[in-house]
Structure 1
């Protein structure tokens, strides 16, 4: 159902991936200008796929197993996004002169935390349903 706690966690993860990623800079370039996620096309795509996957997971509430699998896929996607962002930030040209990272670099980590909390709540619901089925 929509009013479960995992819906809140998934909505927060969707807002982080879909909204906050366009507000906070990922890093500053050598000209001391903010580089946003919107400046890099594949980063936009990965953030939006993550947000879309979170929204789809919210509306799959009738099938908890599918919700759980979509949550895991979203976690993997966010780990890939985090890894690529860290790799790019470490291989920036002029890295010795500029070492200022933005909060946008850790947004996938926050998203991962909320998706893990949602998966934990989904698992708890699934265990509750299984225990009730055993009593019948």
Structure 2
């Protein structure tokens, strides 16, 4: 059923991953130019992949196990994206590319929180169905 709470969490994760990357910048370079995720195809692909996994997971509501697995894969994808951001911001010596970090670097964290809440709700539904099956 699409009206469950995990659908709201998954939709929110998709909006964060696909919509907010065009609003919030990732960092500002030395010249003062704001760099968005659309400027780098790696970041754009990872963000849009995360949004696509969230949307696919929404429409897999009849198969809760695959929905749960897709949620975990999405969490792993967001951790990879976050790791790339941390590596880029910590590994650069001095003021080479990144002059000021933007809020866009925190978007995977917000997405991970939504995905964890969605997986918790999916697990709760699965446990409820299993308990009802035991009573039959």
Find the aligned partners of 1:28 and 1:91 in 2 and give their Cα distance. Answer: 16
Find the aligned partners of 2:115 and 2:98 in 1 and give their Cα distance. Answer: 33
Q: Is the 8 A contact 2:27 2:104 kept in 1?
A: yes
Deviation at 1:67, TM superposition (A): 0.4
Partner of 2:14: 14
Q: Is the 8 A contact 2:13 2:114 kept in 1?
A: yes
Find the aligned partners of 2:33 and 2:93 in 1 and give their Cα distance. Answer: 14
- Aligned runs of 1:17-56 on 2, under 5 Å? 17-56=17-56
Partner of 1:65: 65
Deviation at 1:95, TM superposition (A): 2.6
Partner of 1:83: 83
Matched residues, number: 136
Deviation at 1:90, TM superposition (A): 2.2
Find the aligned partners of 1:98 and 1:47 in 2 and give their Cα distance. Answer: 20
When normalised by structure 1's length, the TM-score is 0.95
Deviation at 1:59, TM superposition (A): 0.2
When normalised by structure 2's length, the TM-score is 0.95
Structure 1, gaps ≥5 residues long: none
Structure 2, gaps ≥5 residues long: none
* Alignment CA distance shift 1:71-1:98 (3 Å): closer
**Regions of 4+ moved over 4 Å:** 96-99
Deviation at 1:117, TM superposition (A): 0.1
Find the aligned partners of 2:41 and 2:4 in 1 and give their Cα distance. Answer: 34
